[in-house]
Structure 1
């Protein structure tokens, strides 16, 4: 390598180091582990480079739309570097800014620029080593009408068939239901369950699409008959409902909330360890009905929150990008307390969370890629002054930080 790696910026301008930080290259990981062993005096600069990468990566979030802009910024700084009259101080500023711009481009565009030579950043190439945990993946379990349980992942594509003739297709991490030739009278229900650390998508018999987050389950019929379409949700899912005015769509949750739909996109978060069940409308129109009959009709960018404690139903403005970030491969936090943050991480990485003392009054704002390893995600949180350590499949939150 050409750089001397004396300061953090030297690392940040190196492609291999960026791949190491993103966890996408086994060879890069081996190289830098060996390099650090041979150059222990460089550890402080190396650690600082990792910290800068985490801050930039966390703050930038989804960067696909910014790639061209950052390319221009980097080009401008390259031109500055070539100016022979540039002063040393100006050169140092260029190196820092160029490094940050290059990181932003690398995070957003690595997959785009290197598909032929590098694995996708969403798919780490090796199992996590030591005290680290890999991110969740595309996996679920389908329970058929007769109780048969079928394990699902994104690689198995062999179809299934229910006893009523419904054909169930499996392709690229999603299920599809084809009940076109189904004339059976009996209504058969299937249940799709994503474990902690899993996600999956299902296209229902009417063409409605459901994206399921980790630790969730959806019970639904293999065909919709009668005057309405009803499914049952535990956990979190995003719904894109096929419009059928004569056959309205309903989602029911375990605590008695019912969402009435007429062709729309919305998110329901109904985890039992959360203090409320939240329905957030992205487009269209929904009516949210509580178990005692209270109801509200939502407009786009509104959330209905049903308290598990007192059953109160409230409506508030919603941050759509934050609510649906999980579906786009991101965690989005906006002044969220540490307990809220850790519940999301615990579901996705399938870990337990332990506090070494009273729950600290810490809040976090920022973005984290869901395909980061657990240690990468925690490094980003550490920039907000939150201390952690990983012990097996447990995160210990250090209240002294």
Structure 2
């Protein structure tokens, strides 16, 4: 796809990258076949190919309308299109670039800016989110039914094992997960402890930066990246062999630090190291001798939901299934595994109607075999699925931890 970047954008660092991505698209349209929003709306502009044209038009003309933004905002950035694309088009990267430039070029209305400011300044900060979440629990009876269902009962984290092994890894506390599902990281620590790995609970870092970055505030997102790198670097220097992410959304972001900061003279090298050390929990467990875990799963049927950030962004579509199958869990049949649940970070808040349609579709796909529980690998998906499913929704490592015979 031939592109001529407008002169007002040529000096931007992302301009050449966007041009290269645009040139790799051959207009085949295979991406539309697996795009959740195109399947719902049947509008070319709400599929990857159409959005690529909208971004191309914007970068060539230097102008964009509110209508362009509407269609870009509707994109989940689930990256299912990337899994399907025969040409390897880096659609998500192009979407991030387009949104970032558009955010500066075409200011949003005051109300929309305010909502996004709140998301970036509450969700991305652990203590602020914890206070907001506590308040929401108190006000739960007064909230609309759908929001009430999104506020889970608090599960105590249980005992975190002491550092006692030669092999050491670390995991960030997280901003949302530490409040809504504090048992997830603790369960991961207990499971890894049984595998001969001590997991350090790292609390100095903050949000992975995904909230700001994917809302088009790239400089703000990069500031989170750098702060986290500084917080994690002493652990890297002390010999920690991996940075373990139990939320796949955070994992996909951290794995991109190296690429996004590759031109940063101070952080490029460190960012590449951090991204190289980042591992989804399923990767870590699969690399170990799972048979060392003495587990006795119950007979309940488990439906596995693989988040988009795990299967499309990190290219790890079946790791959780393989782990649970090898441990003897009774796995339920599901369908349409490639389709997004509609959570997509802040998407369920900013695009509620479309998100709920996708959520209903996903819950139905996960329920065809009448499972007793659903497991996932990302806290955002866990909250959204839990609001709509008729069975409990948990992180997969929690049911593994529950099945440990010698806890």
* TM-score (structure 1 length as normaliser): 0.27
TM-score, with length taken from structure 2 = 0.27
Q: Higher relative contact order at CA 8 Å, sep ≥6: structure 1 or structure 2?
A: 2
Structure with higher strand content: 1
As a proportion of its length, which structure holds more helix?
2
